[in-house]
Each structure stands twice: as C-alpha cells, then as structure tokens.
Amino acid sequence: MTGSSAAALPQLSIQVVNFAAEPPGDWTRLSDHAVAADRAGVDRLAVADHVAFGDDLDDYGDPSKGGTIGGRQPTGPGGAWLEPLTSLTWLAARTEKIRLQTGILLAALRRPVVLAKTAATLDVLSDGRLDLGVGVGWQAAEYEAAGLDFTNRGRLLDHSLEVCRALWAGEPTAYASDELAFDDIWSMPSPVHENGVPIWVSGTVNRRTARRLATFGCGWIPWGADRADVVNGILGMRALQEEMGLDARPFEVQGSLPVVRNDTGDVDVPLTMEGVAPLVEAGVTDCRIAVPLPADPSGAEDVLAELVASFRAVTGRGDIEPSP
C-alpha cells in the first residue's frame, strides 16, 4: 500500500460542489465553502469528476454498470462540471491546512504520464495535501469519448496507477506492460511524501477492488450497498482480502455520517454526532458529512465550526484547535 495521509484520530470531511445543472456565472461559492471549511477545521474536502456525458444516464442507477441502486446523475448531460485536479489547484491556493481529495477521479481517462505529473505538481504546490481518490466510473460514453474500452476499465485504472507509482519514485525508472513500456525516465518533482500521493480506491466489495486496494491504496471509498452499510462493508472487504491471501494491513475507510434533523428541519448536531462512534468502532477513519451550507462565507464557517467542535469532542480531539 502507499503511505497513509490521515492522523491517528478520526477525521471529518465534506464534499464541495464543483458542478451545476446550469453554468452559475461564477464559482465563488465553491471557493467560499472551501475556505470556510479550512478555517473551521474540517479535515478534508472532496470534489467530483466527469469529463463528458452521453445522453443516456440510466446506468447511473445500474450497479452492474458501476452505478448505485436508486442513484440519479445530479445535473443532466448538459451540466457544468469543473475538472477536479484543476479545481483543487485553485482551492489549494486559497486554503492552508485542509486535505484536498478527488472523490473520485476517473483516472483512466487521463494519459498516465500526464496524470502522474499533474498530481505530483498539485501535491507539491499544496505542501503534500493531495489525496487521490480513484474509481472506474459507470458511464461507457465517457470512455468512448476518450477512445478507451469501457469493458476494460478496471485494467486501465490499474495501468494508470502502476505508471504513477513508477514515476513518483524520484529516480530514473522503467516500466513495461501490454499497454506501455519505457526505460530511464525521470518525472520530477516527486510528491512530497516518500511513498507518493496517497491513493484512495473506490468500489464495492469485489475481488478487483480488494486487489486494487491492497496493491495501491491507503484508503477505501465504499460504493453502492457497501457505502450504505459501511459497517458490514468493512467486514466484507477485510474477509475478502484475507480469503484472497492479499496484504490486508489496516486501511483507512470513508463512511457517510447520517445527518439527523429536528422537528423544524434543522440539523440536530448532538444527535448527528451520536452516529460517529459506531462508524469509528467499525473502522471508519474519514466521516463524510453532507449538510447544506449558506452562500455567505461567514455563515458557512459558523455551520462547519459547530460540526467540527462537536465531532472533535466525541472523538477525543477536543484539544485540537480549528485552523485560524
């Protein structure tokens, strides 16, 4: 596995919205929410990825194609989606401490050598704050637009990660596979941490995801039913890795923290935080929470600061101050 990015104690994360059903005119809210999260002491923020869309989005709700039951693509095919690594570079320049995650990057759609350079550059410019969350996606049209075979998407992802890991080593390197071969190639600068950019592997409990996690990943981003029931998902992933004889060292896990609302529809922070302990006990290290944030930056910071303070209190992190 690659090196871990997380502290020993559980972390709290959010997703900031880098997409819109209609072009918003400007993306100030994206930046404002990222800065608010950084100042409030949120540990990690994530942005999503789509490069292109076809007209048929039904596969988003089809688990056999990589979708999730009942899922619905949030914008329609004509939605505006900002490229995630570019977006995180923009946000890195406006923040100081918060970790920056692709959640997830369809890594196979990028040429591996360019992906390795782009990710390493962002990691260096952000002082080692990048977490590369990767997955295969659900949309055949997106692979077709990139000239790639959707049915071979798992191998394409593994190939991309193999090349990245080789090029991040910080010395002349060689690589050979059915897809690509090179010798004595440098790609500098290397990522900040010795083991490269931390990789979080997304997917359900299956043999391909289990092997990819053991080979490349420091963390797992469960998908579909395994995200909905992350406690049993973790048990299933660990059991499968053991069954397959894989290196089943501890791995980080992202899990959704359910939001509890009171009678007026507002977030009940104390009751919401009661859901943290079962997740942490099961092995979740990154508690992802989704709450509506005011457009006003100071209002967003206030909402997030209350969540951070409560989260740190219930996880034993009450002595850690939020970022200035």
The token pair at 75 is: 């914008």
Residue 134's SS3 state is strand
pLDDT tens digits for range 165-195: 999 998 899 999 999 999 999 999 999 999 9
Task: Identify whether 2 is part of a domain.
Answer: no
Q: What integer pLDDT is reported at residue 164 of this predicted model?
A: 98
Q: How many CA atoms lie within 13 A of 324 on its CB side?
A: 0
Q: What integer pLDDT is reported at residue 197 of this predicted model?
A: 98
Task: Identify whether 121 is part of a domain.
Answer: yes
Task: Identify whether 322 is part of a domain.
Answer: no
pTM here?
0.93
E strand residue ranges, 125-251:
130-134, 173-176, 181-185, 199-203, 219-222
Q: What integer pLDDT is reported at residue 324 of this predicted model?
A: 39
Task: Identify whether 1 is part of a domain.
Answer: no
Task: Identify whether 197 is part of a domain.
Answer: yes
pLDDT tens digits for range 309-320: 999 999 987 655
Query: How many domains in the chain?
Result: 1
Task: Identify whether 19 is part of a domain.
Answer: yes
Q: What integer pLDDT is reported at residue 222 of this predicted model?
A: 98
Task: Identify whether 5 is part of a domain.
Answer: no
Q: What integer pLDDT is reported at residue 259 of this predicted model?
A: 97
Q: What integer pLDDT is reported at residue 1 of this predicted model?
A: 46
Q: What integer pLDDT is reported at residue 8 of this predicted model?
A: 63
- The domain of 283 spans 11-314
Task: Identify whether 61 is part of a domain.
Answer: yes
Q: What integer pLDDT is reported at residue 56 of this predicted model?
A: 84
Sole residue written with tokens 């397959």? 244
Asked if residue 259 lies in contact with residue 288, where contact means CB atoms within 8 angstroms, the answer is: no
Q: The domain that contains 278 carries what CATH number? A: 3.20.20.30
Q: What integer pLDDT is reported at residue 62 of this predicted model?
A: 83
Low-confidence stretches of the chain (pLDDT beneath 70):
1-8, 318-324
Q: What integer pLDDT is reported at residue 319 of this predicted model?
A: 52
